[in-house]
Amino acid sequence: MAIGLGLMIGFQFPVNFDRPYASRSITEFWRRWHISLSSFLRDYLYVPLGGNRRGPARTYINLGLTMLLGGLWHGAAWTFIAWGAYQGFWLIVERLAGQRALYSALPRPAQVLATMVIVVFGWVLFRAASLPEALAYMGAMVGLGEASSAGGTASAWASLDRLQVAAFVAATVAVYGFRTSQAQVERLRPAWCAAVALLGLIALVHLLRASHVPFLYFQF
C-alpha cells in the first residue's frame, strides 16, 4: 500500500519485501524479507567472514555468526541474540539438507504454512521483553499455558478482538490471493488507486481510534 501511495505522489521506493510469508523455506524467507537488511548482512558480514568459500564447516559457522550479529544489531539484549541464533539454526539445518527445507517433500501449501510457523515463533523472541516471557508466550501458542499481557493473563487467541481477527483474515487473503504491491503498481488503474486510497484512510482511522502502541524500531 505504501509503494502504491508513494508512486501516486511521485516517490520511487526500492523493493524491500517480496511476499516473504509465501516462502517455502527459511532460506527463501530471508531472500524475500527485509531485502536491504538481508543484503547488508550478506555483503558486510557473511562474505567478509568467508561466506561459503572455505568449506562446509566454515560455511555453517559463518551463517550462525552472521545471524547472531544480525540479532545483536537490533539491540543489546538476550532476546535478540536468541532470535539471531534461532534464525541461524534453521539456515544451517537447511544448508545441511542441500539448501532445502526439511519439509520440502510436502505440498506447497504445507511448506508455506510450516515456514510461517517457524518464522512466527522466532518473532516471539524478537518482540518479548525477556527470555522467560518469550518462553511463556511460546508455551501459550501451543496450548501449554497463558501469555502475559498488559491487562493480565489471557490466551494468545482469546486476547484478539473481532477487528484484529478480521484484519488477520484480510491480510491472509491479500498475501496469498493477489499479486504483490510491486506488481500491482506497474499497471496503475483507477479502481486500484481508489482501493489503495480507501485502505489507507481506513488504516489511518484505525490508528487514531486505537490505543497508543510505540513503534518497535524506535527502541533501537
**Active-site residue identified among 34, 74, 206, 212:** 74
Amino acid at 64: G
Minimal CA–CA distance to 27: which of 127, 98, 75? Answer: 98
Residue-level pLDDT at 180: 72
74 has catalytic annotation: yes
Residue-level pLDDT at 214: 64
d(CA 9, CA 92): 43
Residue pLDDT tens, the chain, 220 long: 566 566 666 677 777 888 899 999 999 999 999 898 899 999 999 999 999 898 999 999 999 999 999 999 888 899 999 999 999 999 999 999 988 899 999 999 999 999 999 999 999 999 899 999 999 988 888 877 655 444 444 455 566 677 778 878 888 887 787 777 667 666 667 777 787 778 778 877 777 776 666 666 656 5
d(CA 35, CA 29): 10
Q: DSSP string of 94-108? A: HHHTTSS-TTTTS-H
Question: Cell numbers 524479507 label which residue?
Answer: 33
pTM of this prediction?
0.76
Residues 1, 17, 11: CA angle, nearest 5 degrees: 50
